[in-house]
Structures are given as structure tokens and as C-alpha cells.
């Protein structure tokens, strides 16, 4: 039995023990449910919740529990999802859905619901069980293969300026058509595989590999990337840490364009129920076979904070940063930004995310032909939408839109872009 299955089983014992009597029903329906007398459980619950405005929720909840007891976890998950589509703050349904998804091996969905529930529940035993599930489920199944696909329409896939002529150092420069803003539609494909080993009671290691490609007709170069990572993972009572080596290789239009090796680390720490801090850092050593002047290092990271306002709403704050050093001063830069996000589940089954970001890119050396370094201010607004009732098998189409505005002291880097992504996402 895997760590995830054991954690789910422990949670299942807690869930079944508290299923009805910890909520609004009396022990009688619970006793009938345990005895397998489902007709009696239904009739007794109907009498208890008669004339209550939330009667339908409790009745549907009991039907989900019956499916769990019968081992019909797919059907149970569907029932609990239906309840959350109407009442996203209904804690019992989210609790049971977490267990059902963990049992089915749908770890991304189980983690999604467990993290929201652990932040709000007043049941300390349940919180402890959920935290154990989060710590173990965050690593996913011990082995597997995943596929990714996305359609990427953009009004400015090339991220070029609309201007035909710009002025640098007091001199006009004509921008050729290929370097100006061009709309386009890209396709993204990916496949990933991983295998995890338990090294000790506290440590596990995951070896993963990913192959991805973005294909455009004309607006920009096609790119293919392969990544290999060895990740060492340690959960603890209030969070988890990951650290390990990583390497990737990128091809542009079929030619090798970048090689990188690095070390990556990340962690999550729960400050209190509903509040957590996170951080991540990757140090890259990179080489460019066709542009040796770009060889050097890059340090990419973030600091994050998340506050759960309710089981269905959370607020996040992230401070991303990047430091790149090359052989040319005008390519060296320090970037820092801020991103604010708001995620919410609505009573009609819609799951939405909103974000707003601002980033400042400061370059160190004077831009060629100018007597000042390049400085960019990049602002973004984004929205993502996913609906529980719009599914393709075990997946749901995730729609995201991002508006980007880049304002630069060098006109070549001024641009606006409206980008859409339609991807297949795990159904939550």
C-alpha cells in the first residue's frame, strides 16, 4: 500500500466515523448507513431535514456516502462535485470528495480540495489527516505518464512593437515587418513521465522527464524543450520542502539554442490555518551554442503568501524575481515583480481565477546605440475559467486570458498583447 493510499485510508476512517453525526444528522441514519440499510438511512434523514432549506444538500450528501460505502468512488465523486457546484462552502461534501479523489488516484484534485478544506475546518483531527494527505499527495502517484495539450491564440505572438519607426540615441530606425507585432495561433504539446522512490520515513526522491513543443505557423520560431529533474522531497508537520538538480535542452526551429543545468529548491510552510508562506529558487548555469555572448547564470525565484478567505475563496500574493548575468553588460538584468491573485468557486459550478501583476526589468549596461540602460515596466491582467459541468472524460477545458503591456525606454520593446490559452486540465 502506497503512502498516498495509507493517508487516504486514514482519512477514510475519520470521514466514515464522523460522516453524519458530526454534521446535521442524528446517529440513527449513521447507524443505518453502517449496517447497509440504505432505505432506512434515507427515510430517517428525510424526516430529520424536512422543511429545511438545505434539505436537498443533506440528502444528496447521504447518497454520496452510500456510493462510498458501496465502493463506487467515481459516482460518489460526481455526487460531491454536484453538491459543491451548488454550495461551494459545504464542508462535508468537500471533505468526502477529497477522500474519493485520493482513493481514485486523482491526486491533483485531491490536493486542490484538501488545501482549501484544511484552511477552514474547525475539526483538528480532520485537519491533521488532511495535512498528512497534502504532504504525501503533493508528490502525486509514485510513477506515471502525463500528456499536455493547449491552443494558444495571441494578438501579438511575436511580442513585437506596433511602431514602424523608433528612435534610439536620437537616430530613427525602421523596424522590419518580421520584427513588428504579429498575431498568430500556437499549439503546445507535452509529455512527462516520473518515478518516485521512498528513501526513508521522511524522504522520497522523484526522477522526472518532460518533452514539450510550441508550434507556430509564422509569428514566432518553433521551440522544443526537454527537461530532466531529480527532486528530493521531505514533508513535515506544517509543510514540505523539495530540492534537487535539474537540466534542460532547448531547440529553436530544430537547432540547439540553449543548454542549462541547475539546482532547484522550494518549500511551503503553514503559518496558521488558512495562511501559508511559500518560496522557490532555481540557480541555472546556461550556455547558448549559437550566441556565446549570452553564456552565464540565471537565478529565478519567488516568495509567496496565500490567505484562505473561505473554503471557496483564496487570496494570494507573489514576489517573483530574476537575476541574469552574461558576457555583455547590456544583457545583464535584475527583475522584480508583484502578482496578486484571487481564486473562487461559484455556486453555479464555475471556478475562476483573477490576477494582476507588475514587473520592473532593470538592465545594467547601456543599450547598443543609446547612452542609457534598457528599463522595462511590464504589467499584466489575467483571468482563468473552469466549469465543473464542462468535461471531456476526466479532464475539463481550462480557459485563460492574459493582457500584457510592456512600457520601455527603448521603443523597440513597447508592446501590447492579448493572449488566450485553452488547455485540458484535471477535473476538480
pLDDT, one tens digit per residue, over 215-247 is: 988 778 899 999 999 999 988 877 889 999 999
Higher pLDDT residue, 428 or 14? Answer: 428
The percentage of residues in the chain with a pLDDT greater than 70, rounded to a whole number, is 83
The pLDDT value recorded for residue 92 is 84
Count of C-beta atoms within a 10 Å radius of residue 13: 10
85 three-class SS: helix
263 three-class SS: strand
List the one residue out of 265, 208, 239, 279 whose CA is nearest residue 135: 239
How far, in Å, CA of 154 to CA of 348, rounded? 29
Using the 8-state DSSP alphabet, how is residue 56 labeled?
H
How far, in Å, CA of 57 to CA of 148, rounded? 35
Which of 92-106, 109-123, 124-138, 378-392 shows the lowest mean pLDDT across its residues?
A: 124-138
Q: Look at residue 265 and tell me whether its pLDDT is greater than 90.
A: yes
Range from 194-203, 353-362, 386-395 that averages highest in pLDDT? 353-362
pLDDT tens digits for 145-185? 778 888 989 998 888 777 776 766 666 666 666 667 788 89
The pLDDT value recorded for residue 23 is 44
- Work out the angle at residue 422's Cα, subtended by the Cα atoms of residues 312 and 148, and round it to the nearest 5 degrees: 95
Span 81-95, mean pLDDT? 85
How far, in Å, CA of 51 to CA of 68, rounded? 27
Span 340-344, mean pLDDT? 95
The pLDDT value recorded for residue 26 is 45
Paired with 26 in beta bridges are none
Instruction: Give this prediction's pTM.
Output: 0.77
Over 283-331, what HEC string results?
EEEEECCCCHHHCEEEEEEEEEEEEEEECCEEEEEEEEEEEEECCCHHH
183 three-class SS: coil
Residue positions counted in the chain: 428
Asked if 152 and 420 count as a contact pair (C-beta separation under 8 A), the reply is yes
Amino acid at each position: 500500500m502506497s503512502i498516498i493510499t495509507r493517508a487516504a485510508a486514514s482519512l477514510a476512517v475519520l470521514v466514515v466515523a464522523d460522516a453524519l453525526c458530526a454534521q446535521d444528522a442524528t446517529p440513527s441514519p449513521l447507524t443505518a448507513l453502517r449496517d447497509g440499510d440504505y432505505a432506512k438511512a434515507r427515510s430517517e434523514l428525510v424526516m430529520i431535514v424536512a422543511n429545511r432549506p438545505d434539505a436537498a444538500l443533506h440528502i444528496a450528501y447521504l447518497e454520496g456516502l452510500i456510493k462510498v460505502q458501496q465502493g463506487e468512488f467515481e459516482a460518489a465523486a460526481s455526487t460531491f462535485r454536484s453538491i459543491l457546484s451548488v454550495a461551494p462552502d459545504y464542508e462535508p461534501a468537500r471533505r468526502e470528495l477529497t477522500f474519493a479523489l485520493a482513493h481514485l488516484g486523482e491526486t491533483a484534485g485531491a490536493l486542490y480540495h484538501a488545501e482549501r478544506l484544511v484552511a477552514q475546518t474547525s475539526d483538528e483531527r480532520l485537519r491533521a489527516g488532511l495535512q498528512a494527505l497534502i504532504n504525501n499527495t503533493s508528490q502525486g502517484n509514485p510513477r506515471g505518464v502525463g500528456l499536455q495539450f493547449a491552443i494558444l491564440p495571441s494578438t501579438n505572438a511575436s511580442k513585437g512593437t506596433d511602431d514602424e519607426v523608433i528612435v534610439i540615441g536620437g537616430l530613427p530606425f525602421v523596424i522590419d515587418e518580421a520584427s513588428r507585432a504579429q498575431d498568430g495561433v500556437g499549439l503546445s504539446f507535452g509529455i512527462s513521465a516520473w518515478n518516485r522512490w521512498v528513501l526513508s520515513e521522511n524522504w522520497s526522491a522523484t526522477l522526472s522527464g518532460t518533452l514539450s513543443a510550441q508550434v507556430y505557423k509564422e509569428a514566432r520560431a518553433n521551440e522544443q524543450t526537454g527537461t530532466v529533474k531529480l527532486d528530493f522531497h521531505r514533508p513535515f508537520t506544517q509543510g514540505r520542502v523539495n530540492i534537487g538538480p535539474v537540466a534542460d535542452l532547448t531547440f529553436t526551429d530544430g537547432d540547439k539554442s540553449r543548454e542549462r543545468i541547475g539546482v532547484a529548491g522550494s518549500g511551503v510552510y503553514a503559518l496558521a490555518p488558512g495562511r501559508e508562506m511559500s518560496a522557490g529558487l532555481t540557480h541555472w548555469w546556461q550556455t547558448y551554442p549559437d550566441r556565446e555572448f549570452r553564456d552565464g547564470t540565471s537565478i529565478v525565484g519567488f516568495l509567496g503568501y496565500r490567505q484562505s478567505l473561505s473554503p471557496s475563496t483564496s487570496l494570494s500574493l507573489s514576489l517573483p524575481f530574476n537575476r541574469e548575468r552574461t558576457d555583455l553588460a547590456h544583457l545583464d538584468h535584475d527583475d522584480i515583480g508583484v502578482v496578486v491573485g484571487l481564486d473562487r468557486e461559484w455556486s453555479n459550478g464555475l471556478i475562476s481565477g483573477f490576477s494582476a501583476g507588475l514587473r520592473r526589468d532593470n538592465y545594467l549596461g547601456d543599450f547598443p546605440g543609446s547612452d542609457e540602460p534598457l528599463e522595462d515596466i511590464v504589467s499584466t491582467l489575467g483571468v482563468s475559467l473552469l466549469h465543473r459541468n464542462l468535461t471531456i472524460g476526466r479532464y475539463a477545458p481550462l480557459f485563460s486570458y492574459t493582457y500584457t503591456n510592456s512600457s520601455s525606454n527603448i521603443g523597440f520593446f513597447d508592446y501590447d498583447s492579448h493572449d488566450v490559452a485553452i488547455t485540458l486540465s484535471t477535473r476538480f
